[in-house]
Amino acid sequence: MAHHDHDYQLHGALQFKVLENYQISPPQGSVPTTTLPDLTFFDYLYLFSSESKHIFLYEFPYPTHHFLETILPCLKQSLSLTLQNFFPFLATLVLPPEPNKPYLHYVANSKSSIPFTVVESTVDFNHIVSDYPLDIKDMESFAPKKRPAIVLEDGTSNLFPLVAIQVTLISNSGFCIGINYHHVVADGFAFMHFMKSWASVCNRLLITKKISEEEDDDDEGKHYSLPIFNDGAMIQDPNGIDLCFLNLMWKPSPFLSKMLERYKPSSSKVMHTNSEFKATFKLNQVQVDKLKHWVSLKHYESTSSSVALQHLSTFVAASALIWVCWVKSQDTTNIEDDDDELYHFLLVADCRGRYEFVSIPSTYFGNCVAPAYVTMKKRHLVGENGIVEAAKVIENKLKDLEKNGVMKGSETWPLDFTEKLYTKRGVVATCTPEMGLYETDFGVGRPKKCEFLGLQGGMSFTIFDSKDNNAGGVEVGMAFERTKLNNFDALFQQSMKIL
């Protein structure tokens, strides 16, 4: 059922007009009612995470009617075809009362669909795809709001829809695909598997001009790797981590209760303030290589070691630089007052194919990333060799994960997650270049800009692959209130001059 609204509505400082509202389901009869396996401790990590909002902006210099006649039908049909293989996105998250465990529920009927909204905007496309600071409220207008939770008649369970999609058309300039999904259903690697699969099918439909569902249904699935789901035995939990998470959910501490109220799916509160801005900071291939060489050389000079930090990854070098700039940008006054305070950096390690999880393939769909924390005193981070010291501890952590496994210390994950990240002294690297966001081509070319909108509060940053298709280059996304963002920008540019 389509809904038309011919009046432009204000969203932040931008104007939007709703053109169509759709509900997209898999092809009729393609997915039977399925009992999904129990959530794993990897999923419980993100049970009360905030919404994950991604936007992909594409150049399309044609009028509205051309988009509606050519691109939109392919977007909808390819989404339908792709969902038959990624059907957990159609499920709902069920939160029953204690002692029942949360679970995902999928039913094959007309209600199992994803809201798909098409809107038109008068925004300046070049402004939105730029790298300079943009108001978070404006950017969030390109991501849809998920449907509200459903409370069962007996009041015992809450059912939360997991995904919503919005396509925003900017006539004669471009369009944006915005996805709002709950992290409990998939981590970033699984989400990008879905996005690239959807894009692959859409690309093929546009190239072959086959708009008939019947023509394409038979060979669907040969054009991308199919997802593999948990069979109930694929992920073992010998340390009982899932029970730790459930106990925290059922009997939270006062501190955790406040955090859960703010971040759980039913919360209507937002994480960001009214004055937060998102900016992109670029490191091209040459700068990345110089950063790696500089860190390695400084490590050699400072330790008099015969072995430098060799073969440093782009992720390690960039993360060290960003972590140091982030810590320095937090407070420009009384900078020595908390020199002995501990600051935390959280990276997430993909567990697919690791020796503890050899049965989990690279195409596993769900959550399969483990948190790994690095801690340093502020005095060392803001010192002369702060970037070098940060790179060394991050590199050592990654080596430790390879040697001793990602599950070491996993029994403290629930408490670590709250105590280290919500103390204003923790920052998270939420995306890595390996996810390849800029490889998502729906048939109109690579995105002009990709954004993750879960950076609010200055508690996380992203490291994406380069949109310029420059192998080895990366772009870093940060969101702060304006003063801290200016501080960060100045520190980042100063570091670039040193290189």
φ, ψ for residue 478, nearest 5 deg: -135, 150
pLDDT tens, residue by residue, 86-120:
999 999 888 888 888 888 888 877 668 999 999 99
Do 184 and 103 lie in one domain? The reply is yes
308: pLDDT strictly greater than 70: no
**280 and 363 in a common domain:** yes
- Residues 95, 203, single domain; the answer is yes
> Average pLDDT in the 34-50 region?
81
In a domain, 470, yes or no: yes
Q: Indicate the number of domains in the chain.
A: 2
Assigned domain for 269 exists: no
Report the alpha-carbon distance of residue 14 to residue 16 in Å, rounded.
7
Question: Are 324 and 186 in a shared domain?
Answer: no
- Give the residue-averaged pLDDT of 253-277: 56
Asked whether residue 297 falls in the same domain as residue 215, the answer is: no
Q: Are residues 250 and 282 in the same domain?
A: no
**Is the separation of the CB atoms in 412 and 319 below 8 Å?**
no
- Of the candidates 38, 138, 331, 441, the residue annotated as catalytic is 441
Domain contains 334: yes
What pLDDT is stored for residue 386 in this prediction? 93
Is residue 246 over pLDDT 70? Answer: yes
> Which of 39-43, 240-244, 420-424 has the highest average model confidence (pLDDT)?
39-43
What pLDDT band is residue 81 in, cutting at 50, 70 and 90? Answer: very high
Kindly state whether residues 20 and 125 are assigned to the same domain.
Answer: yes
Q: What is the pLDDT of residue 82?
A: 96
The reply to whether 331 belongs to the active site is: no
Where does the pLDDT of residue 358 fall: very low under 50, low under 70, confident under 90, or very high at 90 and above? confident
Say yes or no to pLDDT of 161 above 50: yes
Query: Do 443 and 300 lie in a common domain?
Result: yes
Range of the domain at 338: 276-498
Q: What is the pLDDT of residue 221?
A: 41
pLDDT band at 156 (very low <50, low <70, confident <90, very high): low
Domain finish residue from 232, 263, 294: 263
Q: Is residue 228 part of a domain?
A: yes
CA dist 85 and 68 (Å) reads 26
**Rounded distance between C-alpha atoms, residue 440 and residue 78, angstroms:** 14
Task: Kindly indicate the confidence band of residue 69, based on its pLDDT and cuts at 50, 70 and 90.
Answer: very high
At how many degrees (to 10) do helices 188-208 and 72-83 cross?
130
Report whether pLDDT(231) > 90.
no
With a CB cutoff of 8 Å and minimum separation 6, the contacts of 385 are 298, 302
Q: What is the pLDDT of residue 201?
A: 95
CA 29 to chain centre: 31
Give mean pLDDT, residues 70-81: 96
Domain assignment of residue 2, yes or no:
no
Q: Residue 298: pLDDT above 70?
A: yes
Q: Please tell me the predicted confidence (pLDDT) of residue 475.
A: 93
The verdict on residue 453 lying in a domain is yes
Fill in the amino acid letter for 397: K
The better pLDDT of the pair 171, 32 is held by: 171
CATH code of 48's domain: 3.30.559.10
Given 231, 263, 295, the domain boundary residue is 263
Tell me whether residue 285 is exposed, middle or buried, using C-beta atoms within 10 angstroms of its C-beta: 0 to 12, 13 to 18, 19 or more: middle
In which band, very low, low, confident or very high, does the pLDDT at 196 lie, cut at 50, 70 and 90? very high
> Is 108 domain-assigned?
yes
Q: Considering the domain boundaries, does residue 208 fall inside one? A: yes
Name, in order, each residue with C-beta under 8 angstroms of 460's C-beta and a sequence gap of 6 or more: 427, 428, 429, 430, 454
Average confidence (pLDDT) over 14-34? 87
Give exposure, 9-39, as e/b (b: 16+ Cβ within 10 Å): eebeebebbbbbebebbbbeebbeebebbeb
pLDDT band at 160 (very low <50, low <70, confident <90, very high): confident
- Does 66 participate in catalysis according to the annotation? no
Query: Per-residue pLDDT for 368 more than 80?
Result: yes
Q: Are residues 174 and 38 in the same domain?
A: yes
Residue, of 155 and 365, whose pLDDT is higher: 365
* 254 and 282 assigned to the same domain: no
More confident: 126 or 266: 126
pLDDT computed for residue 37 by the predictor: 79
Structure confidence at residue 462 as a pLDDT band (50, 70, 90):
very high
Measure the CA–CA gap between 416 and 326, rounded to whole angstroms. 20
When pLDDT is cut at 50, 70 and 90, the band that residue 254 belongs to is low
* Final residue of a structural domain among 263, 298, 316: 263
Same domain, residue pair 252 and 314: no
Q: Residue 157: which residues within 8 A CB-CB, separation 6 or more?
A: 94, 95, 96, 97, 151
309-337: average pLDDT: 80
- The predicted pLDDT at position 8 comes to 47
Q: How confident is the model at residue 236 (pLDDT cuts 50, 70, 90)?
A: confident
Provide the whole-model pTM: 0.89
Q: Are residues 258 and 280 in the same domain?
A: no
Q: Which of 54, 182, 183, 193 is catalytic?
A: 183
Q: Two tokens at 416?
A: 């670590």
What integer best gives the mean pLDDT of the chain? 83
